[in-house]
Amino acid sequence: MKKFIKINFYFLIILLFLIVNFNIFEKIYLIISNDYNKRLLNAYGDCEKEGYGFVKKTINNKIIRSNFFVENKGDFPSIKGFFYNFNIKTNNKTYVFLINQQEENINEEYLKNYKILKQEGKCFLLRKDD
């Protein structure tokens, strides 16, 4: 019986240490108190970081059907996977999202071939001129 209590006591101490060390209660609270979109916005930024908020606000069915292109000048991965439609086989850049981009530093190709549809801070939505 003493051995059983001793093993459970050590197990309880280790479990308590892990809970405190990894802030389990705080993380559970944040998951419960924030909905999915708010957590994504906090993690991936509005018009900073990966630019999830800007893309989410400006995207519509027409843009999704064209399988748009996202270019981020910051050192962040693309968020295109959140919105990409794998059933459509297109490889054109009809719509381009530029994230963390200064207006004066926009690539010459974009200035010649694209029209700015929306700008919010350092984020741009461009559409190819036909």
What's the whole-model pTM score? 0.71
Which amino acid would we find at residue 103? Answer: E
Query: Which token pair is 38?
Result: 């708010």
Predicted local distance difference test score (pLDDT) of residue 79 = 83
Strand 114-120's sheet: what is its strand order? 69-72, 95-99, 123-128, 114-120
Instruction: For residue range 61-107, list pLDDT tens digits in order.
Output: 777 777 778 888 878 888 878 877 777 766 667 888 888 887 777 77
CB atoms within 10 A of CB 36: 8
pLDDT at 19 over 90: yes
The rounded percent of the chain whose pLDDT value lies above 90 is 18
The rounded percent of the chain whose pLDDT value lies above 70 is 95
Q: Sorting pLDDT into bands at 50, 70 and 90, what band is 130?
A: low
Element (H, E) at 39: helix 36-44
Q: In this structure, are residues 99 and 71 in contact, taking their beta carbons and an 8 Å threshold?
A: yes
Question: Mean pLDDT: which of 23-32, 58-67, 75-84, 117-126 is highest?
Answer: 23-32
Q: Which of 90, 96, 85, 86 is nearest to 55 (CA)?
A: 96
Place of tokens 């981020």: 72
Predicted local distance difference test score (pLDDT) of residue 23 = 93
Q: Where are the domains of the chain?
A: 1-33, 43-128
Cα distances (angstroms) measured from residue 104 to each of 108, 113, 121: 10, 16, 13
Element (H, E) at 96: strand 95-99
Predicted local distance difference test score (pLDDT) of residue 33 = 94
